[in-house]
Amino acid sequence: MAQVLEFRLPDLGEGLTEAEIVRWLVEVGDVVTVDQPVVEVETAKAMVEVPCPYGGVVTARYGEEGTELPVGAPLITVAVGAPATGGDTESRETKGSGNVLVGYGTSEAPARRRRVRPGHRVPAEANGAAGTVATASTAPAAPEVADGPVPVISPLVRRLARENGLDLRELTGSGPDGLILRADVEYALRAAATQVRAAAPAEPTAPPASAGTRIPLKGVRGAVADKLSRSRREIPEATCWVDADATELMRARTAMNAAGGPKISLIALLARICTAALARFPELNSTVDMEAREIVRLDRVHLGFAAQTERGLVVPVVKDAHARDAQSLSAEFARLTEAARTGTLTPVELTGGTFTLNNYGVFGVDGSTPIINHPEAAMLGVGRIVPKPWVHEGELAVRQVVQLSLTFDHRVCDGGTAGGFLRYVADCVEQPAVLLRTL
C-alpha cells in the first residue's frame, strides 16, 4: 500500500507568516522527485520556489493561484510508493529530504499521514487553503493527543489558548525541548481562521454607492503597512535635523574616483560615516525587548537602506557594514540595488537590519521625518545636495548643502545622545578628514 504524505507551507524566513501562491509548477497526478520545486510563492520579502521533500505522485493541491496561505497550512499531498515490509522502510519514507528551503530550516514528515487503500479514490484537487485526504467511506483519523504534562511555561500562552478554545496538547512547540511558545499558538489560530474563511460560503454583498477602487493590502505593500503601523504603535520616536556643508565630501569623492579603480558611491561614503558614528554612539545600534524590559545593544552593524522598486519599498541589508571599507560598501550597495530592481532579493538579504540609511534626496526633497524600521532604534535621513548660500570662513559663498535628519527611539537614548550622533555625522560630511581618526 502507498502512503499519502502531507507537505505544509514551510517557514520562508524571519518574520514571515504567510505567502501567496503565484504559480503551481505541478499538476495533480504528476510524479515528483525529492526536492523538486512544486509551487512558486510570493512573500512580503521575495518570490520563492518551494521544493517538496517527498518523492511520489501528487494527489492534491491546496489553494488556487492567488490564494494566501499561512505558514503551516497544507500545500500538497504526495502518495509515496508502496513500502516494503519492515520498519526501516517506514522510517526512510517519513524522514524526507531535510532541504525544504536552503537557509530557512525544514522538518521531517508531518505526523498526519494516511494510507491509500485499494478501492478508495484520492481527491484530485482541493480548493482553498484547507482540505483533507479522505473519502466518503473513511473519515480522517483524529490526531493523537500525547499523555502527560503540556510543555508550556508561560501563563500568557495558556490563557491565549484557553480563550480561543485551542487544545495545547495538539501543538508541537518550536521552543527548546518542544516548548510551546506564544508564536506557536498564534500561528495555529491564524491557520484555523484561514481554514474557516476558506470553507465558509461567500455571501453576496451589494457594493456601497460610491465604492471606489479597492486595492488589497498584500505582498510587499501589506508587509510595509503592517510594519509601519507596528512601529508607530510601539516606538516613541523623535526626530532632530541639521544642515551640513557637503562640499568637501563631494570633493573627496571626486578625488577618490580620479585615482582609478572601482568607483566609490556617495551612499557608500555616507554608510562609512554611519558606521563610524555608531561606534561612538552604540546606543543607536540596538533594539528594545519589551517582554524582558531590556535594551539589547547589538555588536554588529547590519545597515539597511531604503530602495524604491516597482513592487514597492524594500530595505535590503548590507551585512557587517562596520567591517567594510568604502570600496566594499560601494560594490555591495550596487549588487543589492540591482537585485532589488530585478526582484531577485532573497529573504536573507531583506532581514536582520540593525540601523537604516534613508537617502530620500534621490526624490528631489530636502527633509523628511521617516518612520523607524521596526525593531530597529534609529534611521539616518539624507536629503538632496544642492548649491546654497553659506557662510564659509567668514564669507558668504555658494556651497553644496545637505539636510541630515535622525529619527530615533526615545526609549534607547535621550536627546543628548541623538544630537551627538547627528553632529558627528555632520562634522564628517563637512570635514571628511575627521574619519581618519577611526580608520
Spatial neighbors of 301 by CB under 8 A, at least 6 apart, are: 274, 275, 278, 285, 320, 321, 322, 354, 355
- Number of Cβ within a 10 Å radius of residue 195: 19
Cα separation, 422 vs 430, whole angstroms: 12
Residue of 302, 374, 392, 410 marked catalytic: 410
CA-wise closest residue to 350 among 302, 382, 310, 311: 302
Task: Let me know how many helices (H) and strands (E) the chain has, helices first.
Answer: 8, 20
Examine the residue annotation and report whether 410 is marked as an active-site residue of this protein.
Answer: yes
CB-based contact 23:100 (threshold 8 Å): no
Helix (H, G, I), strand (E, B) or coil at 74: strand
Q: For residue 91, with 0-12 CB atoms within 10 Å meaning exposed, 13-18 middle and 19 or more buried, which class applies?
A: exposed
**If you search the block for the grid coordinates 484557553, which residue do you land on?**
162
Phi-psi region of 191 (alpha: psi -120 to 50; beta: other; left: phi over 0): alpha
Orientation angle between helical segments 266-280 and 326-342, nearest 10 degrees: 120
CB-based contact 74:28 (threshold 8 Å): no
The torsion of the CA quartet 397, 399, 402, 403, rounded to 10 degrees, works out to 0
Rounded to 5°, angle at Cα 312 from 308 and 315? 60
Q: What is the DSSP string of 206-229?
A: PPPTT--------HHHHHHHHHHH
CB-based contact 167:97 (threshold 8 Å): no
Per DSSP, which regions of 201-310 are E strands?
237-245, 286-289, 294-297, 303-305, 307-309
Active site residues: 410
